[in-house]
Amino acid sequence: MTAPRMPPAQALTELTRAGLRPVLDAALRRYRRTGELGRSRPELTADTWDALSRLTGRQESRTLDLTVLDAALRQSRYACSLPELLEAVSGAPVVVRRQARETFEAQWAGVLSAVSDSQWRAALGRDEGGAALLRAALRTQDAELESTLQRVSAALEMARTETLSYPVLAARLSGDAHALDADTLGGKLLRAALKALEIPEPERDGVSSTVLTANLRGPAWLNAAAGHCLALPWREVQAAHFQAPGHTLWAVENPSVFEALHAAHPHAPLLCTAGQPRAAATALLSRLPTETTVYLSCDLDLGGLRIAAYLRRSVKLNWQAWRMDAGAHALACSRGTAPLRGDPTPYSAEFPGLVEALGASGVGAHQENLLPELLGDVERGSTEQDGTDDTK
């Protein structure tokens, strides 16, 4: 007469008492890898190997053969299969890693195909543009993921042609002004996509985004402020056109450098992006005559390269690299270095000497390390332009 089948939970309890729980834990780890009853060499004590030998009826050591263990369990008084018992060990159906990975990758491919913006889809395929955020949302089975992807794709399309604030953009797309807030999935994905695609980020409003300037010409109120530095909000920039005296502008990344230049040369035409350019900076630059020569200086690191490359690609002006070469890098590094985080090679075409120097040294340098030279450049440039300013 065949012994009644023992419930897997009860069998697990009895096998644990018999000293076989380490064997079952090792079997679960092996089974999760492929879902097959293969072999492994777990680290087990001599007592555990002896307990396994008593179950299988043969001398066991070093190698755990799951087919042998499965057969022994089925023929024993427990009368249950190894997969059934492993489900009891895990407390839930055993998820095989290979199958889970294949299922997830199929789902990921489906998500990518649902992204209508082709450039963003390509960035996600390269694990950029918020790919990590999107994968996490896919794993949690976000119920609104599809609608979020549609909203972000539509927002990217609009951001390429219009400069809108986040609330206005969100309201136009969904009727909810907070649908693209920074703490929402859509807002996080949009910001990551904009950065990856080098699209100017929308502003929260028309006055929060500002650009530091000095001695630009334009509306009467701006001309009246000659000799002073101004923080111009995006709203004012959008409504005006600008000109640099002598069609020459000195542009820097850092406010500390801007301040020092303005203090030494209060009548020099200056602009500061204050880090990664926001809408106000790119809007002002796009409202200068295209023949304007812009001497652009940034930190000698990946962030500085990113800023410089973005501006040169985004706004059609006569851009001139200003102290952004191998010689400047060597001089700046002789006064102090900064960690180089990231790969500068994508900017090799635009800044070949600097990129080569960054790669060879493995360090960058801050723009402030070149302040004496920058001050001297502006002084010489201002002297050369004296008496030749055709905008007076």
* Sign of the alpha-carbon dihedral angle for 24, 26, 27, 29: positive
Please write the tens of the pLDDT for every residue from 54-98.
Answer: 999 999 988 999 999 999 999 999 999 999 999 999 888 887 777
Considering the chain, what percentage of its residues have pLDDT values greater than 90? 67
Are the CB atoms for 250 and 261 separated by under 8 Å? yes
CA angle in degrees (0–180, nearest 5) for 51-52-53: 90
The arithmetic mean of pLDDT across residues 172-187, rounded, is 90
Closest CA relative to residue 290, chosen from 327, 357, 236, 243: 243
Running DSSP on this structure, what letter comes out for residue 367?
G
- Judged against a pLDDT cut of 70, whether residue 16 lies above it is answered with yes
Q: Residue 93 is encoded by which pair of tokens?
A: 């159906």
The arithmetic mean of pLDDT across residues 193-222, rounded, is 87
270 forms bridges with which residues in the sheet? 214, 250
Closest CA relative to residue 321, chosen from 275, 345, 363, 354: 354
The ranges assigned to domains in the chain are: 8-95, 98-197, 210-385
CA angle in degrees (0–180, nearest 5) for 225-230-235: 105
H helix intervals, the chain: 8-17, 21-34, 46-56, 66-75, 82-90, 97-113, 118-125, 131-139, 145-161, 166-174, 185-197, 220-223, 234-238, 255-264, 279-285, 302-314, 326-333, 352-361, 371-385
Fold classification of 210-385 is Dna Topoisomerase Vi A Subunit; Chain: A, domain 2 (3.40.1360)
Residues 6+ apart with CB under 8 A from 158: 164, 169, 172, 173
pLDDT in the model for residue 391:
45
Phi, psi of 177 (to 5 degrees): -65, -15
Please write the tens of the pLDDT for every residue from 224-254.
Answer: 999 999 999 988 998 899 999 999 999 999 9
